[in-house]
Structure 1
Amino acid sequence: MAIPDPVRANFDTLLRAAGDGNLALIECLDSGKREVRYVLCAVDRAGGDYVFTPFGHLADGNPYEAYLPPDPDDPTGLIESAGDGGAS
């Protein structure tokens, strides 16, 4: 499964920020669920201000239970359930 170009560009930006020491973990409030999230952000400067660009939040609980991986037998598909080869 191909990763879309805008997603790959964001990932490259995240890697550059990490390499430059311009990465931050910030406690935020989820705008929809009103729950605390720990958000990974790239940090930049605009004049005298800091600019934080959010890239995503850390998974709550066990991330192996939150996500299903790509299907190793089908490069265009995803594993549909943990019983289909996902982490146990």
Structure 2
Amino acid sequence: MAIPNHARTNFDTLLRAASDGNLALIECLDASTREPRFVLCAVGRTGGEYVFTPFGHLAGGNPYDAYLPPDPEDPAGFIVNPSS
């Protein structure tokens, strides 16, 4: 599966923010569940104020349990049980 352009653009912005030292980790509340989340943000300035642009939150617990990796033998597939 191809990564969409908006995701590539956001990733490039995130890399640029990291290389410029303009990256922050901020504790927020999930808008739906009200659970704490640690959100990765790019930091910018508008006038004299800081602007934080959220890109995503860090996975809680074991991130290997949260995601299914792409299947290298099937470009459109994912490995359903990575331990097998």
- Shorter chain as denominator, the TM-score bin is over 0.9
**Conserved 8 A contact 1:64-1:87:** no
Q: Which runs of 5+ in 1 are unaligned?
A: none
Q: Give runs of ≥4 in structure 1 deviating > 4 Å.
A: none
SS at 1:59's partner residue?
A: coil
Partner in structure 2 of residue 18 of structure 1 = 18
User: What TM-score, normalized by structure 2, do the two folds share?
Assistant: 0.95
Q: Write the letter of the residue equivalent to 1:61.
A: G
| Identity among equivalent pairs (%) | 74
TM-score, scaled relative to structure 1: 0.91
Encode CA deviations 1:29-55: one digit per residue, 9 max, x unaligned: 000000000000000000000000000
Deviation track 1:22-76 (CA, whole Å, cap 9, x = no partner) reads 0000000000000000000000000000000000000000000110000111012
Higher strand share: 2
SS of equivalent to 1:14 = helix
Aligned match of 1:51: 51
1:35 maps to what in 2?
Answer: 35
d(CA) in 1 for partners of 2:78 and 2:12? 23
CA RMSD of aligned residues (A): 1.2
Distance 2:3 2:69 in 1: 13
In structure 2, the gaps of 5 or more residues are none
